[in-house]
């Protein structure tokens, strides 16, 4: 099991959900728990929960998918041009944290963003739109497709990491 319930420093339980489907175990986290609104830099208070997920990732050794989502509200007055781009950048920020802080091999992870596609909740109210802004971290059951070493996949493109 993934243990993130205890000691999450006052994060409301509705902002973190544990789910499962045929693909794997999913941790769904409100984007506002991890990021400022319409930003892709992790908030320092998000590190505690991400560290718990890193502990689980090291224990289970499964491949990890990090998926970003937004609502359908257009973003005005910011330098990110689309919801899909924002969701992708947020997913990449989580992946980068897992790789650098958690020492999780990049070859085990995939990050991508769906933007305003694939809502988890209806998108009719401000409260449901807030719930649609989320990051899902999927611990994949079974073996994921082979990926080359020292790289990561983003929107079906493989990127090689050069140090």
Average pLDDT over residues 43-53: 94
Q: In the beta sheet, which residues pair with residue 17?
A: 28
Q: How far is CA 31 from CA 11, 70, 86, in A?
A: 12, 8, 11
Give the per-residue pLDDT at 149: 57
Token pair 């319409």 is found at 38
pLDDT of 10 above 60? no
Residue 68, φ and ψ in degrees, nearest 5 = -100, 145
pLDDT of 7 above 70? no
Three-state SS at 26: strand
- Summarize pLDDT for 98-123 with one digit per residue, the tens: 999 999 999 999 998 887 676 665 66
Look at 146 and 92; give whichever has higher pLDDT: 92
């Amino acid at each position: 099991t993934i243990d993130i319930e205890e000691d999450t420093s006052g994060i409301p339980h509705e902002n973190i959900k544990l789910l499962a489907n045929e693909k794997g175990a999913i941790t769904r986290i409100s984007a506002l728990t991890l990021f400022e609104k319409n930003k892709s830099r992790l908030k320092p208070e998000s590190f505690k929960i991400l560290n718990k997920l890193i502990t689980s990732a090291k224990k289970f050794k499964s491949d990890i998918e990090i998926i970003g989502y937004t609502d359908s509200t257009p973003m005005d007055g910011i330098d990110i041009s689309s919801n899909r781009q924002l969701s992708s950048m947020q997913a990449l920020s989580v992946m980068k944290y897992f790789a650098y802080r958690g020492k999780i091999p990049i070859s085990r992870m995939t990050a991508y963003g769906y933007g305003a596609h694939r809502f988890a909740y209806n998108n009719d109210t401000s409260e449901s739109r807030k719930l649609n802004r989320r990051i899902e971290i999927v611990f994949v059951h079974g073996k994921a497709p082979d990926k080359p070493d020292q790289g990561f996949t983003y929107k079906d493109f493989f990127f090689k990491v050069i140090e």
